């Protein structure tokens, strides 16, 4: 199984995962044309898309979903709350497939395990994705790390974790006070310290590769995230592989390979 983060920030989010020659998008928050271009750039033709899985209804996660679903005649998966919140977004030609947190579902050769996260939308979910012994998990767009979130990510080989903002930079930034309160709330977004604490917990559980994503372009930067997370990991004598995704940047293709067990 291979993963590529095509974009990750408040300006747009999309993660592509491939098994064999089939590709699934987790969120599609760029224009359809931009998503197609970024897939082509990594050698994954858009015609290999077999599904789109949505975490929630914010535009930076769904912008290109409708066009891609109609263009390639592929299903769109999301919780009933998410799909209903997007009622005015759909044009009627999409194959909409309701899912439920806690209930696994299959797309091609990938098993998705949706789990609930605290975020200020109708019915958000994030996901653990498995193929054989390989697995990765996503926890972005959440205001706090619940026991459930930590437990789900701890079972994976690769974890994609939100490091949205530096708390001081957000506090003294130029956003309106109400927006700052929303972002910093338990239903908003994780700050760097929260992300670092989660990274330590995951590394202690044996997660081999941790990716920091969904950085704010206004209240964070790659080096600040790296310093904060590396300091926390070093203090705990932990050395997982660490990747930090720049706002609106993309990653190389990341292979996800699990450890086979013998009995």
Extents of the domains making up the chain: 2-254
Q: Where are the beta strands (DSSP E) in the chain?
A: 2-9, 12-19, 22-26, 49-53, 75-79, 95-99, 105-107, 110-116, 125-131, 134-139, 158-162, 209-213, 241-244, 254-255
- Strands 22-26 and 12-19 turn out to be antiparallel
pLDDT number for residue 258? 84
pLDDT digits (tens, 9 = 90+) for 58-117: 999 999 999 999 999 999 999 999 999 999 999 998 999 999 999 999 999 999 999 999
Alpha-carbon distance of 225 to 216, in angstroms, equals: 11
- Between the alpha carbon of residue 122 and those of residues 56, 208, 223, the distances in Å are 8, 33, 33
CATH topology of domain 2-254: Metallo-beta-lactamase; Chain A (3.60.15)
Alpha-carbon distance of 122 to 162, in angstroms, equals: 20
Q: Phi/psi of residue 256, each to 5°?
A: -115, 110
pLDDT number for residue 262? 36
Structure tokens at 130: 């498995």
Q: For each of the chain's 263 residues, which pLDDT tens digit applies?
A: 999 999 999 889 999 999 999 999 999 999 999 999 999 999 999 999 999 999 999 999 999 999 999 999 999 999 999 999 999 999 998 999 999 999 999 999 999 999 999 999 999 999 999 999 999 999 999 999 999 999 999 999 999 999 999 999 999 999 999 999 999 999 999 999 999 999 999 999 999 999 999 999 999 999 999 999 999 999 999 999 999 998 877 899 999 998 654 33
Structure tokens at 226: 């790296």
- Whether the CB-CB separation of 196 and 229 falls below 8 Å is answered with yes
User: Which residues, in sequence order, are CB contacts of 174 under 8 Å at separation 6+?
Assistant: none
């Amino acid at each position: 199984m291979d993963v590529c983060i095509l974009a990750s920030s408040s300006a747009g989010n999309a993660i592509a995962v491939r098994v064999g020659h089939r590709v699934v998008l987790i969120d599609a928050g760029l224009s359809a044309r931009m998503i197609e271009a970024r897939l082509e750039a990594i050698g994954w033709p858009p015609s290999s898309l077999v599904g789109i899985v949505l975490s929630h209804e914010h535009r930076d996660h769904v912008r290109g979903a409708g066009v891609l679903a109609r263009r390639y005649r592929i299903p769109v998966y999301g919780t009933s709350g998410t799909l209903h919140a997007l009622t005015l977004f759909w044009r009627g030609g999409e194959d909409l497939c309701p899912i439920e947190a806690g209930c696994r579902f299959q797309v091609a050769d990938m098993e998705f395990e949706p789990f609930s996260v605290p975020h200020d939308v109708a019915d958000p979910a994030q996901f653990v994705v498995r193929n054989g012994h390989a697995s990765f998990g996503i926890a972005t767009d959440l205001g706090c790390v619940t026991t459930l979130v930590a437990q789900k990510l701890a079972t994976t080989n690769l974890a994609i974790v939100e490091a949205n903002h530096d708390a001081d930079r957000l506090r003294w930034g130029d956003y309106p006070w109400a927006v700052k309160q929303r972002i910093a709330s338990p239903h908003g977004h994780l700050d760097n310290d929260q992300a670092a604490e989660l990274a330590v917990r995951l590394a202690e559980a044996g997660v081999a590769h941790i990716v920091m994503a969904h950085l704010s372009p206004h209240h964070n930067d790659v080096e600040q995230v790296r310093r904060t997370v590396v300091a926390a990991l070093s203090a705990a004598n932990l050395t997982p592989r660490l990747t930090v995704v720049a706002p609106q940047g993309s990653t190389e293709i990341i292979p996800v390979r699990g450890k086979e067990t013998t009995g």
